[in-house]
Structures are given as C-alpha cells and as structure tokens.
Amino acid sequence: MELLLSGLVTGLFLGGLYALSAFGLSLVYGVMGLVNLAHGDFMILAAFLSFSLTGVLHLDPLVSLVLVSPCMFVLGYAIQGTLINRLLSKRSLEAGIVTTLGLSLILQTVLQDVYTSQVRTFTPGYAARGTTFFGITVPNSYLLCFGVALAVAAGTHMLVRRTSFGRQARAAAEDPVTARLMGIRVERTYNLTFGLGAALSAVAGVLIGVAFSFTPFTGTTFLLKGFAVVVLGGLGSIVGTLVAGLALGAVEGLGASIFGGSYRDLVTYAVFLLILLLAPNGLFGGRSQV
C-alpha cells in the first residue's frame, strides 16, 4: 500500500515534466491544427545544446536555458515560416505532418552523428538528493519539474489570456479568415506560435536531462507522452494541460508500482489509447477536425 502511494505521489510530481512536454505541442496544435512530430526531438535538441553549453561554460543546466530557449524560438520561427506556412495555406495538413516527420529524422540523425548514442544526463548537486515528507521520498528533480511546470503554466496562461499576441493567436485559431479581417497577420502569428512551442520544449528537454537521461532517440517517447497529455487535457486550456500532465504522471507512477518499472511507458500508451477511443475530442473537448 505504501508502495502504491509512493508511486502515485512521486508520479504526480514527475507529471510536471509531462505537462511541460505538452504545452508547446498543445499551443501549436490548438492554433494551427498541426501535429508537430518533431516536438520531442526539439526537446532533445535543446537538451544537447544545453549539454554542450554547460560543458563549456560550466553553467547550471537551467541557467543555460536563458540562451538555449531563445535559440529554439528562432529555429521554430524559421521552420514555420519557410516550410510549413505554405503547406497550411494549401490546406495540406498531411504534408505538414510528413514534413515534421522529416525534421524529426534529420534531428535524430544529426544529433546521433554529433553526440553519438551515448546516454547523457545532467547532474547538478541538488538533483541527486530527495526530499521526504509524510514518509514518502520524492527525488528533488521531480520536485523541480513540478515547480517549473507550475511557473511555466502560469506564464503561458498569462501570455495566452492577457496579451495582444494571445488574443490574436486565439482569434487565428478560432477563425483565421475573420482574424485577417481584423488586420491580424495570421502567418506571423503562426510563426510566433511555433517558435514559442519550440522554446517551451527547450524547458522540458533540459528537465528531462536533469530528472532522467537522454539519447538522440529519447524524443519519440516524450512526443507521445506530450500528445497523450494534450488529448487528455483538451486544447486551449493551459490549466487543463497542467492537470492532465500531473494526472498522467500519477497514473503512470501507480502503474509502475504495480507492474514494474519497465512497463511504465506501456501504461501511458494504454491510457492514451483508451482516451482516444472513448473521447476522441479529448476529455475537455477541443478541435474536432484536423
């Protein structure tokens, strides 16, 4: 029983990471209807960039985000602007998905070539220890994931709800034609959104390195977890995504306690499939057409 509870609680905190994996994905899918299959690889790319930076400059990985995140933003902005916008205007969403698949492959290949398949991890001092309360020990890195997720959720929520950009993005998501009639530059909004998604994925990527480890191929797993969270939490709701991430983490932790650690991912997939089948529009509703 204690074991189960421990798994549940630990998983809950870890869920922050899953939520972080989902914010960028959710934004991009919500605004443009695009499933970014390279999202996980963006995360890992950021993790490797951070890895190199911390190696050279001896920075804390989180601090390195100050540099890495804007770089990812620029990369995302450029990709959307040069490759994806013209596909969206042709209504060719499948082509967009295939393009992101190609990008995913490029990223994985290049990263493997440059960094090899060696498993990497960040080991800042604080991450190695755990904190105990009520008899349950939670790794500090998980607590960090939780905390960062809350902060990022708050920030993104503010951005989407209170700024002009947020209003424009929501308008473009709801009705791109009318958005143009307001003078909104829809393509530029898409660029900014994709860039933001990449920047957010950087945060998730670095935390993956802190809490776990990564190789050039870790991206796919987190893509799927991120997407599971998006479907669970519904689109357009940052809060929903946060809650769904935490929930997924908790369920996964519980499952791992029961079935064993190697089945952790499988639990996620099973839950995900179940949700897709029972509620194709997500638990909180969302885009019903792509």
Partner 1 sequence: MKPLLRVDNVSKRFGGLVAVDSLSLDVEEGEVLGVVGPNGAGKSTLLSLVAGSQRPSTGEIWLDGRRIDGLRAFQVARLGIGRTFQTPRPFHRMTVRDNLRVAAAARATEGRGRRLDVDAILELTGLSHLADRPAGALTLLELKRLELARQLALGPRLLLLDEIGAGLTGSELARLADFLTEIRELGLTLVIIEHVLHFVMDLADRVAVMDMGRVRAVGPPEEIARDPLVIDAYLGERQERNSPENRPRVSVTAPDAGKGEEAGDVLVRATDLWASYGMVRALNGVGLEVRAGQAVAVLGPNGAGKSTLCKALLGLVPLQSGTVEVDGEDITRWPTERRVRESRLVLCPEGRHVFAAQTVLENLKLGRVASRGARDDRLDMVLDLFPELETRTGQLAGTLSGGEQQMLAIARALMSNPRVLIVDELSLGLTPAVGMRIYERLHRMLERGLTLLLVEQYISEVLATASSVYLLERGTVIFGGDPWDIGEEDLANVYLRGQGYSKKGSPRSSVGAPAIEGG
Partner 2 sequence: MRRARLQAPGLRLAGVIGLGAALLVGLSPAVVTAYELFVVVTLLRYVVLAQAWNLLAGYTGLLSLGNQVFVGVGAYVMSLVLIHWGWPLVAAFLVGGGAAALFGVVTYLPLFRLRGGYFAISTLLVALATSVWMVNWDFVGANSGLNLPPAAIPSLEGQFFYAWLTMLGFLAVQWGLLRTRLGLFFQAVRDDEEAAQTVGTNPLTVKVAAVGVSAFASGLAGGLLAMELISIQPGSAFSINVMLDMLVMVTIGGMGTLMGPAIGAVLLIVMEQELQQYETVSLLLKAVLLIAAVQVAPQGLMGVLSTTRSAATRWRKVRVSETASPRR
Please report, as residue ranges, which positions from 195 to 224 form the binding site for partner 2 (by CB under 8 A). 220-221, 224
Q: Which does 98 bind (CB under 5 to 8 A by kind): partner 1, partner 2, none?
A: partner 2
By CB under 8 A, which span of 2-10, 49-57, 177-185, 253-261 interacts with partner 1?
177-185
- Shorter beta-carbon distance to partner 1: residue 56 or 177: 177
Question: Residues 86-115 vs partner 2: string with x where CB under 8 A?
Answer: xx----xxxx-xxx-xxx-xx--xx-xx--
- What is the SS3 string spanning 68-111? HHHHHHHHHHHHHHHHHHHHHHCCCHHHHHHHHHHHHHHHHHHH
Residue where the block lists tokens 């529009």:
281
Euclidean distance between CA atoms 77 and 196, whole angstroms: 8
Does residue number 236 form part of the binding site for partner 1 (CB under 8 A)? Answer: yes
Closest contact distance (angstroms) between CB of 178 and partner 1 is: 4
- Shorter beta-carbon distance to partner 1: residue 164 or 289: 164
Q: Which DSSP helix (H) or strand (E) runs through 279?
A: none
Candidates 100, 2, 53; CA nearest to 202 is 53
Does residue number 34 form part of the binding site for partner 2 (CB under 8 A)? Answer: yes
Of positions 60, 63, 136, 170, contacts partner 1 by CB under 8 A: 170
Does residue number 175 form part of the binding site for partner 1 (CB under 8 A)? Answer: yes
- Shorter beta-carbon distance to partner 2: residue 5 or 87: 87
Closest contact distance (angstroms) between CB of 35 and partner 2 is: 4
- Shorter beta-carbon distance to partner 1: residue 151 or 182: 182
Helical residues (DSSP H) of the chain, grouped into ranges: 2-32, 39-57, 61-79, 85-89, 93-115, 125-128, 140-162, 164-174, 176-181, 186-211, 219-233, 238-259, 264-278
Euclidean distance between CA atoms 1 and 254, whole angstroms: 11
List interacting residues with partner 1 (CB under 8 A): 164, 167-168, 170-171, 174-175, 177-186, 236
